[in-house]
Amino acid sequence: MSTPAEMGKSGVLKTHEATSTSGYGLPVYILGLAFLIITVYFAYELLYRRTKGVAAGGPTFIIAGPSGAGKTALFTLLRYGEKSTTLPSVEQNISTTFRLPNLPDTAKPFVLIDTPGHQKLRHGMFSALQIAQTARTIHGVLYVVDASAISRPERLREAAEYLYDILRITERVRGGTDVLVAANKSELFTAVPAKRLRTLLEVELDKIRESRAKSVDKVGAGGDKHDGDDGDEDDSAVVGGNLWLGRGGEKEGPFKFEDLETEVTVVDGSVDNDKIDGWLGWMEERAVN
């Protein structure tokens, strides 16, 4: 119905465009190009260089964990000494001048990065971690977990899945990157203690390892078994392919944190109750290394 009208309209527009291009063609073109270049540059700066530069620029701690665990609350408490969480959780919150309270003022400031926990936004955390590992600026990952909700199977699963992905990265470097599982919200009566949380995570990580190995088996049509039997303890070379975490081979028993290069420590605390001394102590130990 409206086709002739539209056609007419576009016809007019075309003539107009044609006139304008012939009128001030080159300046408009240059202006447009300059605008495009500036936009692309800032997008690059914002999305890539910022994280890369920051994570590679100085000694770094990265805060990660599922949504709602208290990462931003912890970041705010560490950085500003406040408990209110007015900071956004959809992007990274970065401080390049973070100082640990018990270290002398002369000590170098740290880079502290709070990352979003939503599954679709985790890639930023993975790349920040990889960049900091490559630049050897990483001093540790604070993996914040809501210990009061972990007795719910789906929450435990989520916490273990994300941790599995992180450990797959920390295992790529010799000696691993230290991970602190910060069992937050421990003041709530439903909270599981650190020791129990450690066991729960180990059991869940074992299940994830099994199921991922199976799905790889199904996909990789050629091989009938996952390549974990020939002592492939840390084959970083096949990072994309081998999803096995920990000791190789199914016969070597269930998943254990001790089998990793990465040192995983579970410590409970509470951002709400200012009970973060255990976590600070862990950071201080890693700050000097």
Ligand X SMILES: Nc1nc2c(ncn2[C@@H]2O[C@H](COP(=O)(O)OP(=O)(O)O)[C@@H](O)[C@H]2O)c(=O)[nH]1
Least Å distance, CB 133 to ligand X, is: 22
Nearest distance, CB of residue 149 and ligand X, angstroms: 10
- Chosen residue from 51, 60, 72, 148 binding Mg ion by CB under 5 A: 72
- Closest CB to ligand X among 88 and 223? 88
Choose one: 68-76, 99-107, 159-167, 253-261; the region binding Mg ion (CB under 5 A): 68-76
**Residue closer to ligand X (CB basis): 120 or 251:** 120
Fill in the amino acid letter for 49.
Answer: R
Q: Which residues of 59-86 are buried (b: 16+ CB within 10 A; e: fewer)?
A: bbbbbbbbebbbbbbbbbbbbeeeeebe
Task: Considering the complex, state which of residue 60 and residue 72 has its C-beta at the smaller distance from ligand X.
Answer: 72
Task: Name the burial class of residue 31, with classes exposed (0-12), middle (13-18) and buried (19+) by CB atoms within 10 angstroms of its CB.
Answer: exposed
Task: Give, as one character, the DSSP assignment of residue 63.
Answer: E
Min dist CB 261 to ligand X, Å, is: 27
Interacting partner of 235 out of ligand X, Mg ion, none (Cβ under 5 to 8 A depending on kind): none
Least distance to ligand X from the beta carbon of 85, Å? 5
**Cβ of residue 71: shortest distance to ligand X, in angstroms?**
3
Per the CB < 8 A criterion, the answer to whether 272 and 83 are in contact is yes
Structure tokens at 115: 């990352």
Cβ closest to ligand X, residue 23 vs residue 189: 189
- Specify the residue, 144 or 264, whose C-beta has the smaller distance to Mg ion: 144
266 CA to centre of own chain: 18
Which partner, Mg ion, ligand X, none, binds residue 249 by CB below 5 to 8 Å per kind?
none
| Shortest distance, position 76 Cβ to Mg ion, whole Å | 9
71 lies in the binding site for Mg ion (CB under 5 A): yes
Contact 75, 112 (CB under 8 A): yes
Q: Which amino acid is at 227?
A: D
Cβ nearer to ligand X, comparing 120 with 174: 120
Which amino acid, 155?
R
Residue type, 68: G
Among 89, 92, 184, 186, the residue binding Mg ion under the rule CB under 5 A is: 89
**Separation CA 95–CA 171 (nearest Å):** 26
Residues 6+ apart with CB under 8 A from 231: 248, 249
Q: What is the DSSP letter of 238?
A: G
E strand or H helix that includes residue 138: strand 138-146
- Where on the chain is the footprint of ligand X (CB under 6 A)? 65, 67-73, 85, 89, 117, 144, 184-185, 187-188, 270-272
Find the shortest distance in angstroms from Cβ 84 to ligand X. Answer: 8
Q: Which is nearer to ligand X, 244 or 282 (CB)?
A: 282
Residue 185: contacted member of Mg ion, ligand X, none (CB under 5 to 8 Å, by partner type):
ligand X
142-152-187 Cα angle (round to 5): 55
Q: Quick one: what does residue 140 bind among Mg ion, ligand X, none, with the CB cut-off 5 to 8 Å set by partner type?
A: none
Q: What is the spatial distance between Cα 83 and Cα 43, in angstroms, rounded to a whole number?
A: 32
Which spans of this chain sit near Mg ion (rule: CB under 5 A)? Answer: 71-72, 89
